[in-house]
Amino acid sequence: MLSKLLRRIHLYTGFFLAPWVVMYAVSTAAMNHRAFFSGEAEEGPRWERRAERAFDGVLPEGGTASAQARVILNWLEIDGAHNARWSADKTALSVQRQRLRDPLRITYTPADGKVVVEGQAAKTSALLERMHRRRGYQQDYAADDVWAFIVDLFIVAMVFWVVSGIILWWQMKATRRWGLAFALGGLAVFVFYAITL
Amino acid sequence: MEFQHLNRRVHLYLGLALSPWMLLYAVSSIPFSHGRLFDELDKAKNLPNWNKAAEMAFDAPAPEDKAGLRELGRAMMRAAGREGAFGAYRQGAKQVNVYHHSVWRSTQIKYFVEERRLVVEDKRFRWDHMLTGLHAKGGFEQDSVLHDSWGVVVDIVCLGLIVWVASGICMWLPVRGLRKPGIAALAAGAASFALFVWLL
């Protein structure tokens, strides 16, 4: 009964989280071979101007940069996960709107009241890296919190797949010897790298 | 050996061999996902992150190009008596920093160009940083066989993840009783993933 239950949970959690498994695998490979995909990471992203508008809203005085950025994002109708900060001389508010598929940089300059929106050319390796690095809990948006919760679920699932896999393997007597060889071999290689790297 | 038998064995043995990496990536993802909590806990200890290990005279040109910067980084590592993986970064016109990371120890070496001075600082050991450092460790950008071989291992883990999904589907397909719930789980996962890619 326990064995059957473990198999079912192992299977269905694996199926539900399969898109994340594939995403993490492909994005890790892309990051591991950054130089192959392009020199993009070395050079930093290239921003292209998308729009320029005169801001006619009101920023909350004394509010945090993030709260002020949110007013601008709402005004642009693109509210969502972001980082914001004022330049040291307080002449420009720079907002990184962390859209997964199409990240934007918004710059507001109070002196001329202008808002400039810039975007990046679409790039698969950059999209994969953004997916891989996406966190959620530090943002005040429900979708980001749910994504972060799924990442936590993925962490629990990975541990479960390993533990349930070991339990299921040990029940199959015919595979014990070879299984032990692979498990110990993997562990030895891992320990070697943990010591030497 | 028939295909299904081979498929089951590959799924099983690959999983057993790569299970240390699965556990590493799982456990080290916790401080990534909850970084603020770990930082707050550490901040409460009120300990400095970096401790000065040495300071010495150092004189070398600070080039702008990537290859030259890498060569300077190598010289700074030698002067500081450190070996292993490193990255060299310019901090404006007057400073070059080298970050050296091994699993158990991290060091930053600061070169103040005008003062011709090198400052070596060791990072206080933190378990969460050790785990995230190993999680994020690549290999191919370093000049050593050891690091290149780690890069290959990371590629094998990536391939292993894809093989688990594919071999899992191959094992599930012939079992008629599991088809409907399996399709439901696959479809729900794919739909959720697509929804988040669209929403976020």
Which phi and psi (to 5°) does residue A183 adopt?
-65, -45
- Verify whether the Cβ–Cβ distance B200 to A16 is below 8 Å: no
Most confidently modeled of B58-72, B79-93, B179-193?
A: B179-193
Instruction: Tell me the shortest Cα–Cα distance from B162 to chain A, in angstroms.
Output: 6
Residues in B touching A195 (Cβ below 8 Å) = 103
- Verify whether the Cβ–Cβ distance B200 to A99 is below 8 Å: yes
CA gyration radius, chain B: 23
Instruction: Tell me the shortest Cα–Cα distance from B146 to chain A, in angstroms.
Output: 7
Residues in B touching A161 (Cβ below 8 Å) = 15, 22
- Verify whether the Cβ–Cβ distance A182 to B13 is below 8 Å: yes
- Verify whether the Cβ–Cβ distance A197 to B13 is below 8 Å: no
When pLDDT is cut at 50, 70 and 90, the band that residue A181 belongs to is very high
Tokens of A18: 């399969």
For the beta carbon of residue A20, count every other beta carbon within 10 angstroms: 20
Instruction: Tell me the shortest Cα–Cα distance from B57 to chain A, in angstroms.
Output: 29
- Verify whether the Cβ–Cβ distance B186 to A18 is below 8 Å: yes
A91-95, A120-124, A159-163 — which is least confidently predicted?
Answer: A120-124
Residue A31: CB partners within 8 Å, gap ≥ 6?
Answer: A128, A129, A132, B138
Q: How far, CA to CA in Å, does B66 sit from each of A36, A144, B84, B88, B116?
A: 16, 37, 19, 9, 21
What mean pLDDT is reported for chain A?
A: 89
Q: For A145-155, what is the mean pLDDT?
A: 91
- The predicted structure's pLDDT at residue A60: 83
Q: For B170-190, what is the mean pLDDT?
A: 92
CA atoms of A67 and A79, how far apart (whole Å): 11
Residues in A touching B18 (Cβ below 8 Å) = 186
Q: For B139-156, what is the mean pLDDT?
A: 87
For the beta carbon of residue A44, count every other beta carbon within 10 angstroms: 7
**What DSSP designation does B140 have?**
T
Is the confidence at residue A5, as pLDDT, over 70?
yes
Residues in B touching A15 (Cβ below 8 Å) = 168, 172, 182, 185-186, 189
Instruction: Tell me the shortest Cα–Cα distance from B49 to chain A, in angstroms.
Output: 22
Query: Which of B8, B19, B65, B70 should be substituted to probe chain A, the one whose Cβ sees the most A Cβ atoms within 10 Å?
Result: B19
- Strand partners for B123: B50
- The predicted structure's pLDDT at residue B1: 64
CA atoms of A94 and A43, how far apart (whole Å): 20
Is the confidence at residue A42, as pLDDT, over 60?
no
pLDDT tens figures, A63-110:
888 989 999 999 999 999 999 999 888 899 999 999 988 999 999 998
A122: left (phi over 0), alpha (psi -120 to 50) or beta: beta
Residues in A touching B23 (Cβ below 8 Å) = 158-159, 162
Instruction: Tell me the shortest Cα–Cα distance from B166 to chain A, in angstroms.
Output: 10
- The predicted structure's pLDDT at residue A57: 82
Tokens of A176: 């014990």
Cβ–Cβ pairs < 8 A, chains A and B = 174
Size (chain A), residues: 197
Strands (E), chain A: 47-54, 82-86, 93-97, 104-109, 114-120
- The predicted structure's pLDDT at residue A47: 87
Q: How far, CA to CA in Å, does A115 sit from each of A74, A108, B93?
A: 13, 4, 31
Percent of chain A at pLDDT exceeding 90 = 50
A35 → chain B, closest CA residue: B141
Element (H, E) at B120: strand B117-123
Of A24, A99, A185, the CB nearest to B161: A24
Tell me if ipTM is over 0.90: no
Q: For A46-68, what is the mean pLDDT?
A: 86
CA atoms of A100 and A97, how far apart (whole Å): 9
- The predicted structure's pLDDT at residue B21: 96
- Verify whether the Cβ–Cβ distance B164 to A21 is below 8 Å: yes
Give the distance, in angstroms, between the CA of residue B153 and the centroid of all CA atoms in the same chain.
12
> In B34-113, which ranges are continuous DSSP H helix?
35-43, 66-80
Q: For B59-81, what is the mean pLDDT?
A: 88
Match 């909350």 to its residue by tokens: A60
Match 């702008």 to its residue by tokens: B64
Query: Which of A15, A31, A78, A135 should be substituted to probe chain B, the one whose Cβ sees the most B Cβ atoms within 10 Å?
Result: A15
pLDDT tens figures, B25-39:
999 999 998 988 888
- Verify whether the Cβ–Cβ distance A165 to B153 is below 8 Å: no
Q: Tell me which residue of B60, B50, B103, B53 sits closest to B80, measured CA to CA.
A: B53
- The predicted structure's pLDDT at residue A43: 59
When pLDDT is cut at 50, 70 and 90, the band that residue A44 belongs to is low
Is the confidence at residue A39, as pLDDT, over 90?
no
Is the confidence at residue B141, as pLDDT, over 80?
no
